[in-house]
Amino acid sequence: MIYLASTSPRRKALLRKAGIQFRVVQPDYDEFMTRKTPPSQVVQIHAVKKAESCRRKIKNGILLAADTLVYLKGEAIGKPRNMREARLILGKLQGRWHWVYTGVALLKLVSGRTLKKLVFFEKTKVRLKKLSPRQIKNYFLRVHPLDKAGAYAIQSAHGGIIQAVKGPLSNAVGLPVEKVREKLRAIDS
């Protein structure tokens, strides 16, 4: 059995769409940001900590945890704390290329012990359209930004703010499903 250490509706939808059966366990971990740690390491550290926070809840199975952040010219951007911060973030990202990093941790648990552990990351390059303050305000009337890294939802049909994507789209949504499927086979062998 696969256990998803996440309450993200996007991650759940991606796994369902990929035909991967799972159960949800809620992680108990508060993310942190640091300027000195590269984004590829930050998302992997967070994914591992989320998985480890759920380890005691599972005796046997594979625990899957993930963390996503946006990275623009040396700055890691997570989820906005409020609408003001969401407007600032989207104003900064609009019209520019940025990276979306997702770290993933897979723990194979047998009798409550970690038998195997795989940790990896994926990145996707995204460019948002140029947006006026009014367009940003209207976007937030349709898409709630506070639970999304970078304050936008790439998968949302309501937005239409994405200009281009280079790399795995599922990664930019919050879980690199293709790579996860490959690593699930590896950890379960």
How far is it, in rounded angstroms, from Cα 137 to Cα 93? 14
Which two structure tokens, joined as six digits, stand for 118?
């795989």
Sketch the domain layout of the chain as residue ranges: 2-187
Residue 126 one-letter amino acid: V
Q: CA angle at residue 150 from 145 to 156, to 5 degrees?
A: 55
Kindly give, in sequence order, each residue whose CB lies less than 8 Å from that of residue 176, ignoring residues fewer than 6 positions away: 102, 104, 122, 168, 170
**Closest Cα to residue 119, out of 180, 37, 78, 76?**
180
The per-residue pLDDT for range 24-37, each reduced to its tens digit, is 999 988 777 666 88
Q: Please compute the mean of the pLDDT values over residues 147-167 and round it to a whole number.
A: 84
3-state helix, strand, coil in the chain (%, to 5): 35, 30, 35
- DSSP string for 125-159: EEEEPP--HHHHHHHHHHS--TTSGGG--TT-TTT
Give the pairing of strands 97-110 and 113-128. Answer: antiparallel
Which pTM does this prediction carry?
A: 0.92
Judge whether 92 and 72 are in contact, CB under 8 Å: yes
Tell me what pLDDT residue 189 has: 78
- CATH architecture under which domain 2-187 falls: Alpha-Beta Complex (3.90)
Tell me what pLDDT residue 157 has: 58
The catalytic residue positions are: 67
Residue 158 one-letter amino acid: H
Which two structure tokens, joined as six digits, stand for 61?
């199975």
**Closest Cα to residue 157, out of 133, 171, 173?**
173
How long, in residues, is the chain? 189
Tell me what pLDDT residue 147 has: 87
Higher pLDDT, 157 or 121: 121
The per-residue pLDDT for range 92-141, each reduced to its tens digit, is 999 999 999 999 999 999 999 999 999 999 999 999 999 999 999 999 99
Statement: residue 158 has pLDDT above 60: no
Tell me what pLDDT residue 156 has: 67
